[in-house]
């Protein structure tokens, strides 16, 4: 059990590293944005879930702009399954933050690693983060 967990963790680290290299080579990652100086705060979740268990990611939108931001949407896309989850639009006042849970109902999803694209956007900005989710 312990050795298989180590294998999963090592594979996950190598997979994340490989994805970042590929994305960086094609200019899809903006390395100047570390998450705290933009609208997109943090994405929090467990990394490993049991099959059938809903996956919950919590994301923050932090408004550091000089004005209110309106009609912000947060959504999550699971590349391998095409599942998309998100909620209604919300507003974030100047200097405020807003948290949103994104829930993926895994249902009959087979065990494996899934790459999730988490997007926070409105008509004026779009920020994207990626997270690996492991179903065991």
Starting from the edge strand earliest in sequence, which strands make up the sheet with 40-44, in order?
Answer: 40-44, 55-62, 97-104
Strands in the chain per DSSP E? 40-44, 48-49, 55-62, 69-78, 84-86, 90-92, 97-104, 112-121, 126-135
Report pTM: 0.68
The CATH class of the 32-135 domain is mainly beta
- pLDDT tens for the chain, 136 residues: list them: 557 777 777 777 767 666 656 555 555 444 444 433 456 777 888 778 999 999 999 998 888 888 888 999 999 999 999 999 998 999 999 889 999 999 999 988 999 999 999 999 988 888 999 999 999 9
């Amino acid at each position: 059990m312990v050795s298989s967990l180590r294998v999963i963790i090592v594979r996950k680290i190598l997979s994340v590293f490989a994805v970042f290299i590929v994305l960086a080579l094609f200019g899809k990652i903006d390395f100047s944005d570390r998450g705290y100086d933009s609208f997109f705060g943090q994405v929090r979740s467990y990394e490993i879930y049991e099959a059938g268990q809903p996956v919950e990611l919590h994301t923050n939108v932090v408004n550091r702009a000089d004005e209110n931001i309106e009609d912000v949407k947060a959504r999550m896309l699971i590349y391998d399954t095409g599942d998309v989850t998100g909620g209604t639009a919300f507003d974030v006042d100047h200097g405020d933050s807003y948290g949103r849970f994104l829930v993926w109902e895994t249902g009959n999803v087979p065990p494996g690693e899934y790459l999730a694209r988490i997007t926070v956007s409105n008509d004026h900005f779009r920020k994207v983060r990626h997270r690996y989710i492991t179903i065991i």
